Chains A and B, each alone.
Chain A
Amino acid sequence: AQSVTQLGSHVSVSEGALVLLRCNYSSSVPPYLFWYVQYPNQGLQLLLKYTSAATLVKGINGFEAEFKKSETSFHLTKPSAHMSDAAEYFCAVSYNNDMRFGAGTRLTVKP
């Protein structure tokens, strides 16, 4: 069975600081991995996806994630946080049209 674990339900950074949101996956087959962002009272927006091509994936809004098979990780990073990045972030793994989400990480950005 596929699953993801997000380490840290809340992350707080200062504006301009590095953002690092952690995600580890469990999959018996090569996984498809995703990061989604959710703003209050909105649906989920796809940030980026990994589908077994390049291990470093660039997404929207300056985010990127690196697939590390040896560490079963797919951490999300952004070099410099902006106030508008404050939101809930979900890591997800998909297999055979079945997507499973992590519990989410709430990112707070302090001025």
Chain B
Amino acid sequence: DAMVIQNPRYQVTQFGKPVTLSCSQTLNHNVMYWYQQKSSQAPKLLFHYYDKDFNNEADTPDNFQSRRPNTSFCFLDIRSPGLGDAAMYLCATSRGGDLIEQYFGPGTRLTVT
């Protein structure tokens, strides 16, 4: 089945230690998104790629970076995680153009110790 895959599902990192979260998709969608979701809150868009074009949200901290080496993969890098970065990180994709519904992966829950 076509899907959005996130690895790992649970990630523990230490304060200040760089961490990378991974997302892959078999949908061949043009757009890939990263969201941060804290407990009992709505997902908050960090950034998205439309093909190779990177679009950063204005209030996304510089501590968060992203890479999309090819259509299928997208990575979220947190350069120096703080305790406030503990959250669920959701990857989503959409075809783009007029087909705008987003398909979400299962998420990676990040714990910062």
**CB proximity to A under 8 Å, residues B85-113:** 88, 90, 92, 94, 96, 98, 100-107, 109
Category for how many chain A residues contact B: 20 to 34
In this complex, how many residues of chain B approach chain A with their Cβ under 8 Å: the count is 26
Whether A46 and B103, one on each chain, are in contact in the complex, defined by CB atoms closer than 8 angstroms, is yes
CA distance A41 to B106 in the complex (A): 8
**CB proximity to B under 8 Å, residues A89-111:** 90, 94, 97-99, 101-104, 106
Whether B43 and A101, one on each chain, are in contact in the complex, defined by CB atoms closer than 8 angstroms, is yes
**B70 an interface residue at 8 Å Cβ cutoff?**
no
Secondary structure at chain A's binding surface: helix, strand, loop or mixed?
A: strand
**A28 an interface residue at 8 Å Cβ cutoff?**
no
Whether A99 and B106, one on each chain, are in contact in the complex, defined by CB atoms closer than 8 angstroms, is no
Secondary structure at chain B's binding surface: helix, strand, loop or mixed?
A: strand
Shortest beta-carbon distance, B104 to chain A, in Å?
4
**Most chain-B Cβ atoms within 10 A of its Cβ — which of A41, A44, A45, A106?**
A44
Whether A42 and B106, one on each chain, are in contact in the complex, defined by CB atoms closer than 8 angstroms, is yes
Q: Indicate which residue in A34, A98, A101 contacts B101 across the interface (CB closer than 8 Å).
A: A34
B45 / chain A contacts, CB cutoff of 8 Å: 98-99
**B42 an interface residue at 8 Å Cβ cutoff?**
yes
- In the complex, what residue of chain B is closest to A106 when comparing beta carbons? B40
